[in-house]
Amino acid sequence: MIWPFKKRTKKQIARIEITGAIASETREKVLKAFKTVVEKQFPALLLRIDSPGGTVGDSQEIFAALQRLQAEKDVKVVASFGNISASGGVYVGVGAKHIVANPGTITGSIGVILRGNNLERLLDKIGVSFQVVKSGPYKDILSFDRQLTAEEERILQELIDTSYQQFVATVAQGRNLEEETVRSFADGRIFTGQQALELGIVDRLGTEEDARRWAAELVGLDPDKTECYHIEEPKPLIKRLIPSRGQTRTAIDTAIDWLEFDLKTNGLPLWLYRP
């Protein structure tokens, strides 16, 4: 496809934002945005991350696509960590060759968590039970109406350990660190951007503006004149036609988002920081 503004885009930096918990919708949006970067031939990308993490597979796919964007298309990428870039946010971020964080950014939380709900005692009190017919002993693993067995805990721990090893290996590869070094701080703890710099997780301390200027310099553009082209998902027609009553989000809105995320990902391994 030939874009009419191809020459102009070579003088601009693309900007993509990853916000909130990373799930399938995030992956689809970001991968589509990466295609736009390639089609419009942007020389550099500013990837702004403000996310506590999310699902394992979606984070891995974004990371892999980010690696291809740099290796195959020679797009220079600078990741900018915002208020929080933890767990899966770190996994995605280390896919960029250059990372900038604010001194007070909350990052880290490198690890894996899998959560299930056990409502057995509550169900007993109200007299509710379930009849289960299954093809194998572990088909209803993490069922909410009973306690895990010791063997089920072993199976799930092995799954978590494997996913954790993938995480450690990826951080080590992306940041040119030894795996043992990564394991020394990859125990689920969080740290500031300042601490992340000392650990080798980020390259520089600075704002998103500093990251933009760095991206411009990497491709030989004047950082004082180079603009960002914000790649965003087009709003549905109805939202464009009907004026918004404001963009202010309430605590209820946020709680509903998290509830929806928890329901979708219940029983899935997560690279997610939950304070």
What digits encode the pLDDT tens for the residues 199-230? 999 999 999 999 999 999 999 999 999 989 99
pLDDT score, position 271: 72
pLDDT digits (tens, 9 = 90+) for 235-261: 554 444 444 444 555 666 655 565 667
pLDDT score, position 237: 47
pLDDT score, position 182: 97
- Gap between the Cα atoms of 192 and 103, Å rounded: 6
Is residue 51 a part of any domain in this protein? yes
- Gap between the Cα atoms of 168 and 260, Å rounded: 29
- Gap between the Cα atoms of 115 and 130, Å rounded: 21
pLDDT score, position 9: 65
Is residue 124 a part of any domain in this protein? yes
| CA 120 vs CA 127, 138, 141, 142: distances in Å | 10, 18, 14, 12
- Select which of 6, 32, 35, 139 is catalytic: 139
Total domains present in the chain: 1
pLDDT score, position 116: 79
**Residue 82 sits in which domain range?**
6-272
Closest CA to 229 of 1, 19, 5: 5
Provide φ and ψ at 87, rounded to 5°: 50, -115
| CA 6 vs CA 1, 42, 172, 174: distances in Å | 10, 8, 36, 31
pLDDT score, position 265: 67
Q: What is the CATH number of the domain that holds 83?
A: 3.90.226.10
- Provide the CA 19 distance to its chain's centre, in angstroms: 8
- Select which of 80, 87, 143, 163 is catalytic: 87
Is residue 1 a part of any domain in this protein? no
pLDDT score, position 275: 61
Is 135 in the active site? no
pLDDT score, position 145: 83
Is 80 in the active site? no
Question: Where does residue 144 rank: exposed (0-12), middle (13-18), buried (19+ CB within 10 A)?
Answer: middle
Closest CA to 223 of 8, 5, 11: 11
Instruction: Report the 10 Å Cβ neighbour count for 162.
Output: 12
- Give helix then strand counts, H and E, for the chain: 11, 10
Is residue 75 a part of any domain in this protein? yes
pLDDT score, position 86: 95
Supply 106's token pair: 């909350």
> Could you give the maximum distance between any two Cα atoms of the chain, in Å?
70
| CA 107 vs CA 14, 54, 193, 242: distances in Å | 24, 14, 7, 38
Q: What is the SS3 assignment for 29?
A: helix
pLDDT score, position 78: 98
> Which parts of the chain sit beneath pLDDT 50?
1-5, 237-246
- Provide the CA 60 distance to its chain's centre, in angstroms: 9
């030989």: which residue's tokens?
Answer: 220
**Contact 6/36 with Cβ under 8 angstroms?**
no
